[in-house]
């Protein structure tokens, strides 16, 4: 199969160039060209065509709308943030400062879910031995948890197809790369392409996928803003200083999980109060 061609697109005007340039040839903006996969030639099948199913026009009041079925994770506070549990085919993005406990929380969640469904933990930042050591420190059984250390997107997709897990964790999205692009892992183009392809995989297979995202020094998810729009639910794990009797914050912190965005919210769920 021929390798897909790359094209550089201006994020300001949408103009394209076959190679990277410092100045956009269309609008003359500087440093706005970003690498992406070139559109296929006319008449070929688009790789996202399977998701673009035609739907007839309907009257809003006549549409049959029911509550989304959710599967509890077994972690009570996490289920509360998720509105009762995970949704089949959903994509969840979790972000937080380095070392705050994202991987630990998700490893505990995978272990709890593995007793009821097939679960896969994909790590791009650690080896399988490191994941196993952390599991033992946490006292987790891990008897039915499948682990894969991989950063190539296409191999991860092939593993998801072969293993057919109901729940999959990708730790983290910034470490992945696709063979369709030549840019380095963590670049804007790679993060956008990998996130879009994993979202396609989740919708097509019904697998719930959790993407771990790094954050910038401002506390926002690193990478393109589109990453925050494609997911079904977004979590953040902020550091909350502990106050004792009105004194200044001390070194100890509470790690809270907050839901920032949910496409399937529960009526009883209230947004975080300031």
What pTM does this model have? 0.72
3-state helix, strand, coil in the chain (%, to 5): 25, 25, 50
Q: How confident is the model at residue 244 (pLDDT cuts 50, 70, 90)?
A: very low
Most confident of 26-40, 148-162, 215-229: 148-162
Same domain, 34 and 116: no
* Domain encompassing residue 93: 76-262
Same domain, 128 and 237: yes
On whether residue 269 sits in a domain, the answer given is no
Q: How confident is the model at residue 251 (pLDDT cuts 50, 70, 90)?
A: very low
Same domain, 184 and 114: yes
R_g of the chain, CA atoms, integer Å: 21
Longest CA pairwise span in the chain (Å): 69
Number of domains in the chain: 2
The answer on pLDDT for 262 being more than 60 is no
Q: How confident is the model at residue 3 (pLDDT cuts 50, 70, 90)?
A: low
For the chain, the average pLDDT equals 77
Q: What is the CATH number of the domain that holds 123?
A: 3.40.50.300
**CA–CA dist 245, 240 (Å, integer):** 16
On whether residue 59 sits in a domain, the answer given is no
Give the model's pLDDT for residue 118: 96
Dihedrals phi, psi of 46, to nearest 5 degrees: -75, 140
Among 69, 78, 72, 47, which Cα is nearest to 199's?
Answer: 47
Same domain, 95 and 220: yes
Q: Residue 61 carries which DSSP code?
A: G
Cα–Cα distance list, 184 to 121, 143, 152, 159 (Å): 23, 35, 12, 22
């Amino acid at each position: 199969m021929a390798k897909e061609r790359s094209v550089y697109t201006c994020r300001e005007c949408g103009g394209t160039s076959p190679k990277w340039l410092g100045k956009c040839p269309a609008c003359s903006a500087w440093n706005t060209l970003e690498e992406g996969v070139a559109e296929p030639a006319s008449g070929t099948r688009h790789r996202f065509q399977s998701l673009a199913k035609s739907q007839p026009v309907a009257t809003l009041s006549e549409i049959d709308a029911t509550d989304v079925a959710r599967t509890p994770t077994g972690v009570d506070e996490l289920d509360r943030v998720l509105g009762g549990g995970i949704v089949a085919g959903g994509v969840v993005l979790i972000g937080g400062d380095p070392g705050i406990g994202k991987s630990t929380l998700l490893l505990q969640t995978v272990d709890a879910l593995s007793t009821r469904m097939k679960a896969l933990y994909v790590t791009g930042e650690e080896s399988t031995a490191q994941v196993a050591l952390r599991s033992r420190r946490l006292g987790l059984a891990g008897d039915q948890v499948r682990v894969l250390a991989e950063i190539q997107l296409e191999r991860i997709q092939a593993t998801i197809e072969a293993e057919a897990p109901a729940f999959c964790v990708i730790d983290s999205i910034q470490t992945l790369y696709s063979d369709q692009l030549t840019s380095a892992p963590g670049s804007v183009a790679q993060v956008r392409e990998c996130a879009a392809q994993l979202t396609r995989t989740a919708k097509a297979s019904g697998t719930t996928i959790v993407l771990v995202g790094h954050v910038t020094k401002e506390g926002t998810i690193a990478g393109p803003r589109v990453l925050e729009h494609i997911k079904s639910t977004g979590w953040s794990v902020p550091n909350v200083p502990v106050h004792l009797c009105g004194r200044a914050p001390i070194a100890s912190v509470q790690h809270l999980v907050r839901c920032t965005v949910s496409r399937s919210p529960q009526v009883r769920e209230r947004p975080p109060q300031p």
